[in-house]
């Protein structure tokens, strides 16, 4: 892209909306921002983003099917968690997609609650449910820095799924981490070691920003 002199389109109004802590990062939140836009330029830019988002959701609904969960996800839900803990899905994916994909593979029955982007941020999801339990009785499983931040913002435990090492991470969760969680020995050195490994696996800068 750089060698050919292409210019990446800039969306200052969209970026400002995303960075605003008061924004609800969902299509509904975007529609609200469009209604409150202060200029024609801002309106057109946000409408363009909304159209793109709706097309992405449509494409996912049409294309994403028949892709089973990673190995040991089902085992973790059925054998490790069912009857022992409340499972809450915390995600910024649209609720419709979450419910459809979990139901497709018959694992929705193991979730007490499924929270999508319409229900707030991940930190808000955790805050709404974690208040019913001691902090060290809540374990957030995630594969992104935002998941870790959401857990830390609420003072709850975090289990990282390292991108590219998902199968190994889920097997460790099933065979090792769950036992520690229920035994009360997850917090401390064990959690710090896993989070450290997770953070080291993440690049400091995205590939397109790295000069070659």
Give the Cα separation of 192 and 199 in Å (integer).
10
Structure tokens that stand for 120 in this block: 């707030």
Give every residue of the chain whose pLDDT is below 70, as ranges: 1, 206-212
The reported pLDDT for the residue numbered 57 is 86
CB 60 within 8 A of CB 91: no
**Total count of residues recorded for the chain:** 212
**CATH number, span 73-201:** 3.40.50.1000
The reported pLDDT for the residue numbered 192 is 97
Residue with structure tokens 């909306």? Answer: 17
- pLDDT tens digits, residue range 10-52? 899 999 999 998 888 888 899 999 999 999 999 999 999 999 9
Structure tokens that stand for 89 in this block: 């899905």
Give the Cα separation of 163 and 197 in Å (integer).
11
Contacting residues for 162 by C-beta, under 8 A, at least 6 apart: 143, 168, 169, 197, 198, 201
Structure tokens that stand for 167 in this block: 């199968």
The reported pLDDT for the residue numbered 8 is 82
Tell me the domain boundaries of the chain. 12-63, 73-201
CA dihedral 189, 191, 195, 197 (to 10 degrees): 60
CB 121 within 8 A of CB 115: no
Strands (E), 23-112: 88-90
The reported pLDDT for the residue numbered 211 is 57
The reported pLDDT for the residue numbered 11 is 94
The pTM is what? Answer: 0.80
Give the Cα separation of 36 and 212 in Å (integer).
42
């Amino acid at each position: 892209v750089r060698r050919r002199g292409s210019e990446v389109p800039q969306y200052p109004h969209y970026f400002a909306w995303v960075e605003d802590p008061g924004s609800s990062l969902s299509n509904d939140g975007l529609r609200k921002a469009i209604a409150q836009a202060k200029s024609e330029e801002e309106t057109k830019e946000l409408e363009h983003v909304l159209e793109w988002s709706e097309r992405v959701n449509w494409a996912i609904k049409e294309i994403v099917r028949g892709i089973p969960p990673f190995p040991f996800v089902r085992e973790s839900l059925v054998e490790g968690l069912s009857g022992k803990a409340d499972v809450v899905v915390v995600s910024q994916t649209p609720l419709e997609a979450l419910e459809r994909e979990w139901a497709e593979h018959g694992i929705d029955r193991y979730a007490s609650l499924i929270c999508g982007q319409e229900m707030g941020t991940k930190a808000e999801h955790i805050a709404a449910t974690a208040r019913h339990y001691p902090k060290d009785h809540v374990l957030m499983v995630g594969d992104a820095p935002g998941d870790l931040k959401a857990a830390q913002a609420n003072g709850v435990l975090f289990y990282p799924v390292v991108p590219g090492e998902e199968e190994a991470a889920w097997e460790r969760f099933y065979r090792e981490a769950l036992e520690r969680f229920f035994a009360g020995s997850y917090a401390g050195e064990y959690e710090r070691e896993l989070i450290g490994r997770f953070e080291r696996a993440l690049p400091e800068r995205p590939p397109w920003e790295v000069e070659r």
